Amino acid sequence: MLPTRGYATSNPTANLEPFNFERREPSAHDVLIEILYCGVCHSDIHQARNEWDNSIYPMVPGHEIVGRVARVGSEVTRFAVGDLAGVGCFVDSCRVCANCKEGEDHYCENHLVATYNGTEKDEKTPTYGGYSSQIVVDENYTLKIPAGLPLANVAPLLCAGITTYSPLRRFNVRAGQRVGIVGLGGLGHMGVKLAASMGAEVTVFSTSPSKEEDARKLGAHNFVVTKDPANLESLAGKFDFILDAVSASHDFNMYLNLLRRNGVMVLVGAPEKPAEVQAFSLITNGRSLAGSMIGSIRETQEMLDYCAEHNITSEVEVIPIQQIKEAYERTIKGDVRYRFVIDMKTL
Ligand code: NAP
Ligand code: ZN
């Protein structure tokens, strides 16, 4: 076993504290990755605090991992020692269900092995995430990091990047379309960059007037402050596609009403409480409300290569791990520009 250092929380109200644990020795198909950077996703906060009611403790969060391969198993063919490697929200799946066979492994029907707050394929051994010194992952669930991108800024692509890229692709967002992004946080700011790069006219819907200048720099064409619903009235029926990346409870109907005929709103944000949807918000204009969870390993690699080609990475604030408590508090307040990333050499 490999002694590993990390930060963990032990219950929904505890702070993250130093935590020592063991990783498995890499088996034939595994790579051992020395972690350089790990992004701080709002999902880390939801789960650390048991807001989705499925938390396993002790919990080492972190699923936006970039590092360097330190060792490879005997059968590994895609990675060599010294290569850059990325790990996202899951580290294995059953590989035999219909979804896995179709390359949609993130929707595995049997057992998706979450990077943390989950269990290994044995359904017993807990998984521990990227707020740690190293991780052991099957090479088939490890991503190749394109050369030439700043690594701290790449880490958030592994969750925030793929979670926004995947629905934009699934619904064929393209030039000539009007796209709305609700919530300018970690996911939202990637949604703006990606939708703009696909040619769409992008409008940010935000509760934070102070983010307008940033939104425009990220590629948004319009910025709407949502605290006053009157600001949305003239936009009714104008949007082809809306991506909702808000972490807290809010009114979906306000945004559904902005969709034109056959328009689609996709939820990626995952507030803890259910929300009310008026039938007429959907019936009018034949609108659809959909959801999307991260993306497959295949599509995550496609997204990383797309980002390299278009020179897209995340806007980050790099922190030492000792500042994780403040980073969580600021993220909850919406005060993040636009992703905290932990420099793991501070561990
Ligand atoms: P984040 O960085 O905290 O951003 C969330 C943004 O939502 C905030 O910056 C803020 O933007 C807005 N917001 C916050 N509280 C609000 C409120 N009470 N009312 C209206 N708007 C509010 O979070 P994130 O990491 O981007 O994650 C966003 C959500 O997506 C989380 O729930 C997370 O768990 C979920 N998620 C889902 C997936 C998936 O696979 N579907 C993957 C990753 C994360 P403004 O200041 O612009 O209003
Ligand atoms: Zn995430």
β-bridge mates for residue 88, sequence order: none
Is any atom of ligand 1 closer than 6 Å to the C-beta of 245?
A: yes
Q: What is the CA radius of gyration of the chain?
A: 20
Supply the residue whose CA is at minimum distance from atom 35 of ligand 1. Answer: 269
Supply the residue whose CA is at minimum distance from atom 22 of ligand 1. Answer: 246
Q: What pLDDT is attached to residue 322? A: 98
State in Å: Cα 33 to ligand 1 middle.
Answer: 29
Q: Give average pLDDT by consecutive 10-residue segment, the chain, 347 residues.
A: 98 98 98 98 98 97 98 98 98 98 98 98 97 98 97 98 99 98 98 98 98 98 96 97 98 98 98 95 98 98 98 98 98 95 98
Supply the residue whose CA is at minimum distance from atom 44 of ligand 1. Answer: 43
Report which residue type is found at 4.
T
Q: How many CA atoms lie within 13 A of 253 on its CB side?
A: 9
Supply the residue whose CA is at minimum distance from atom 39 of ligand 1. Answer: 293
Q: What pLDDT is attached to residue 84? A: 98
The Cα 261–Cα 268 span in angstroms is 22
By most ligand atoms within 8 Å of CB, the mutation choice from 42, 115, 267 for ligand 1 is 42
Tokens matching residue 249: 């409870």
300, containing H or E segment: helix 297-310
Q: What pLDDT is attached to residue 128? A: 98
Is any atom of ligand 1 closer than 6 Å to the C-beta of 113?
A: no
By most ligand atoms within 8 Å of CB, the mutation choice from 104, 112, 187, 253 for ligand 1 is 187
The Cα 255–Cα 178 span in angstroms is 13
Q: What pLDDT is attached to residue 265? A: 98
CB 9 within 8 A of CB 59: yes
Give the 3-state DSSP-derived string for 187-238, with helices as H, strands as E and coil as C: HHHHHHHHHHHCCCEEEEEECCHHHHHHHHHHCCCEEEECCCHHHHHHHCCC
By most ligand atoms within 8 Å of CB, the mutation choice from 246, 273, 332 for ligand 1 is 246
Report which residue type is found at 15.
N
Is any atom of ligand 1 closer than 6 Å to the C-beta of 269?
A: yes
3-state secondary structure of 116: coil
Is any atom of ligand 1 closer than 6 Å to the C-beta of 106?
A: no
Report which residue type is found at 56.
I
Residue 184 alpha carbon, nearest atom of ligand 1: 47
Q: What pLDDT is attached to residue 87? A: 99
Residue 51 neighbours by CB under 8 Å, 6+ apart: 45, 272
Q: What pLDDT is attached to residue 169? A: 98
Long-range contacts at 234-237 (CB < 8 A, ≥ 24 apart): 235/203, 237/285
Q: What pLDDT is attached to residue 254? A: 97
State in Å: Cα 188 to ligand 1 middle.
Answer: 7
